[in-house]
Structure 1
Amino acid sequence: MELSVILFGLAAALCWGSADFSGGVASKRNGAMIVVVISQITGIILLASYATISGENIPSGNDIMWSVLAGLAGGAGLVALYHALATEKMGIVGPITAVGSAMVPMIFGSLTEGLPSVSQITGFAFAFAGVWLITRGESEQSMELKRLRFPVIAGTGFGLFMILIDQVQGTEVFWPLVGSRSAAAILTFCMILYTGRKLRTSGIELLPFILLAGFLDTGGNVFYVLAARSGRLDVAAILTSMYPAITVLLAWILLKERLSRRQWTGVFAVMVAVVLIA
């Protein structure tokens, strides 16, 4: 396994985990939609600037199509994630999302590159056990399944993003991500119009956290693309799926967010699952 895959994958995990924390904190004050819109626009500006400065060529029509599809999947996942972070504990949302974002590329890899190894199958078992523990507190009452739908949607969307953005065949890095970000932003606006929600553009709280989330999420996307191009898709996807560890750590240190002993066991099981799957 090339060292670059490991380094880029872990760098993406660090960026995405920190972005989830920043975006989650901001979403609790402002709602998910406005956070997604501002963070997406921030990413578009940053990526377009990088692409222009580096002199990248415009991707082919086929690569643009894959970028747009990836953006639609990732955008839906991001809206679901920030909504979940605004209503649930970060330490619960993060690991559940990670399982989805890890398993979707793994299933795709099994269909295209062969069945997973014994250690990866063992990782699946740890993942399911971890999710079960996370959804239960110290009491015997389980968390309602309907409260898991947004983390599951987020993980599925991110997993599809990882697969689709890897279908870009050109050497360009920034312009394809501009396309995916633009598609995600358009999707978000369409969801706002469909649901009839109004964006509160005045009195936005914690704007630095929103901008930071956009910056870090953009960096995570870049590092993931570099990781996927440096080695196997499933390896890159699993390494980047370790990002909830960063989110949980930041929530524990900065927000003093407490989880039950059983839930911490579940978080640990999910982290072990990610390592085994890798």
Structure 2
Amino acid sequence: MVTALALVTALAFGVADFLGGAVSRHSTALKTLALSAPMGLLVVAVAAVVVGGAPSPPSLVWGFLAGLCGGLGLITFYRALARGPMNVVAPVSALASAVLPVGVGVLRGERLDEAAVLGVLLCLVAIGLVSMEKGEEAEPSGGASPLRRPLDSGPLMALVSGTCFGVFFILLKAAGDGAGLWPIAAARVGTMTVVFTALLIAVRFRGGDRGPRVTGKALIGLALLSGVLDSGANALYYLAVQDGLLSLVTVLTSLYPAITMLLARIAYSERLRAVQRVGMAVAVAGVALVTVG
């Protein structure tokens, strides 16, 4: 059951990222998130009321902190992609988001049998392989100051984003059980806090966030659906990780780039590179071993 929940979580994250990316092609990441994040909060708040539970202050605090990390991870990930190269950025972020929780799980005493360990290792390899995209030249730094150059480094920002995602996974595990979906609602509030703070900073220091608005029923609908799916994925991950091992659930969840790649192949006729096809085959083998283990 835990394995199935984690895989469905990866599916939801993958579709949500694809839809969010599709909308961002016509606008900006921040403006897309400004639409999707409130919708996600609305959906998860309604679900939390229906499910019930007894939220405690610690569980809400853990959830809110997780949301702050998740929102920061989203923003830094998009900045990393803008700085490139993508064939370094995507694998670094995906692997960091998976490896960090695995390390924490092991330190907390989580133990897997040999088949599951091999499956987890294969899934980690698969995450890196399916995330690899064709390299693009990074934007020139021009006369950037020495202090700003680290912030303009794609690989460094990718490591920051992956670390933020990994901490997000860990903090949701720490929120504990018995609180229903209220920690997820608190996480959405945290994500919205980061997104709208970033928008305010953009307005204050850059005279407004450059780029077109999200317009048209189709694009607005896709942005809202992305928020719904992202919140649903958060809720599914939370349910899975409360019943399962942090290391196992996080690795399976982090396979979501494979879903995004497949959808891009279908929608935009983007060809999968040989390394990505190998990664998907490795992912199937890894999931099979984890299921058996």
2:276 alignment partner, one of 254, 258, 264: 264
Q: Secondary structure at the match of 1:166?
A: helix
Amino acid at match of 2:23: A
Residue 251 of structure 1 corresponds to 264
Deviation at 1:185, TM superposition (A): 0.8
- If the length of structure 2 is used for normalisation, what is the TM-score? 0.77
Amino acid at match of 2:179: E
Please tell me whether the aligned partners of residues 87 and 134 of structure 2 are also in contact (alpha carbons under 8 angstroms).
no
How far, CA to CA, are the matches of 1:257 and 1:97 in structure 2?
A: 21
* Residues 1-278 of structure 1 mapped to structure 2, 5 A cutoff: 4-57=1-54, 59-83=55-79, 95-113=91-109, 119=118, 123=122, 126=125, 130=129, 134=132, 146-195=153-202, 196-197=205-206, 198-199=208-209, 204-205=215-216, 206-261=219-274, 263-264=275-276, 267-268=279-280, 271=283, 275=287
Unaligned residue ranges in structure 1 (runs of 5+): none
Distance 1:52 1:135, change over 3 A: closer
How far, CA to CA, are the matches of 1:270 and 1:110 in structure 2?
A: 23
Deviation at 1:68, TM superposition (A): 1.4
How far, CA to CA, are the matches of 1:90 and 1:250 in structure 2?
A: 18
Please tell me whether the aligned partners of residues 87 and 133 of structure 2 are also in contact (alpha carbons under 8 angstroms).
no
CA deviation vs aligned residue, 1:169-214 (integer Å, no higher than 9, x gap)? 2412321111111011111222223343535785535111111110
Residue 148 of structure 2 corresponds to none
How far, CA to CA, are the matches of 1:23 and 1:175 in structure 2?
A: 24
Distance 1:266 1:89, change over 3 A: farther
The Cα RMSD (Å) is 3.5
Amino acid at match of 1:204: T
How far, CA to CA, are the matches of 1:77 and 1:19 in structure 2?
A: 15
Identity %: 34
Deviation at 1:99, TM superposition (A): 1.6
Bigger drift between 32-41 and 111-120 goes to 111-120
How far, CA to CA, are the matches of 1:53 and 1:129 in structure 2?
A: 38
Deviation at 1:79, TM superposition (A): 2.1
How far, CA to CA, are the matches of 1:147 and 1:167 in structure 2?
A: 30
Distance 1:14 1:85, change over 3 A: farther
Amino acid at match of 1:119: L
How far, CA to CA, are the matches of 2:172 and 2:153 in structure 1?
A: 29
Distance 1:105 1:143, change over 3 A: farther
How many residue pairs get aligned? The number is 268
Please tell me whether the aligned partners of residues 42 and 214 of structure 1 are also in contact (alpha carbons under 8 angstroms).
yes
Please tell me whether the aligned partners of residues 19 and 214 of structure 1 are also in contact (alpha carbons under 8 angstroms).
yes
Distance 1:65 1:125, change over 3 A: closer
Distance 1:185 1:268, change over 3 A: same
Deviation at 1:76, TM superposition (A): 0.9
Please tell me whether the aligned partners of residues 26 and 35 of structure 1 are also in contact (alpha carbons under 8 angstroms).
yes
Deviation at 1:106, TM superposition (A): 0.6
How far, CA to CA, are the matches of 2:120 and 2:182 in structure 1?
A: 36
Deviation at 1:69, TM superposition (A): 1.2
Distance 1:176 1:114, change over 3 A: closer
Please tell me whether the aligned partners of residues 91 and 267 of structure 1 are also in contact (alpha carbons under 8 angstroms).
no
- If the length of structure 1 is used for normalisation, what is the TM-score? 0.80
Distance 1:177 1:122, change over 3 A: closer
Bigger drift between 86-95 and 203-212 goes to 86-95
Q: Secondary structure at the match of 2:26?
A: helix
How far, CA to CA, are the matches of 1:128 and 1:10 in structure 2?
A: 13
Please tell me whether the aligned partners of residues 15 and 259 of structure 2 are also in contact (alpha carbons under 8 angstroms).
yes
Deviation at 1:121, TM superposition (A): 8.4
How far, CA to CA, are the matches of 2:75 and 2:281 in structure 1?
A: 26
